[in-house]
Amino acid sequence: MTNQTRAASVQELESTFQQELATDRWAAAESAYALASRYREQGDWEKSREWVKQCLQLLEGFPADTMEQVATTRTSVGGVALPNYLHEGVVRERFGELA
């Protein structure tokens, strides 16, 4: 698993995502958000859009009725700061037309 505060490469983040997908879908959603952010920073809009969609698909499987249900479990993933709360509205707001 990558260090949560250092800037991980996208390859490291993708590897972490694959591991989390099998064991912790919420962590995988957080990692997908980080990947979408990282690719957007690099100007790779297509890859960013793919990871936004992956994040949104994962979030569909979780309840989002209370703040506790959408609170992120980490402050950052691979050097990418996470929002305090992760749900469809936040993702769509942060990524705009990429969402």
pLDDT digits (tens, 9 = 90+) for 46-94: 999 999 999 999 999 899 999 999 999 999 999 999 999 999 999 999 9
Please check whether residue 2 lies inside any domain of the structure: no
pLDDT digits (tens, 9 = 90+) for 36-53: 999 999 999 999 999 999
Q: What domain range is 26 assigned to?
A: 10-98
- Total domains present in the chain: 1
Residue 3 has pLDDT above 50, yes or no: no
Q: Where are the alpha helices (DSSP H) in 1-99?
A: 10-23, 25-41, 45-59, 67-70, 88-95
Please check whether residue 80 lies inside any domain of the structure: yes
Cβ pair 55, 49 in contact under 8 A: no
Instruction: Give the span between the Cα atoms of 66 and 43, in whole angstroms.
Output: 34
Residue 1 has pLDDT above 50, yes or no: no
Please check whether residue 1 lies inside any domain of the structure: no
- At 99 the pLDDT is 80
Residue 98 has pLDDT above 90, yes or no: no
The three-state secondary structure class of 69 is: helix
Please check whether residue 46 lies inside any domain of the structure: yes
Residue 9 has pLDDT above 80, yes or no: yes
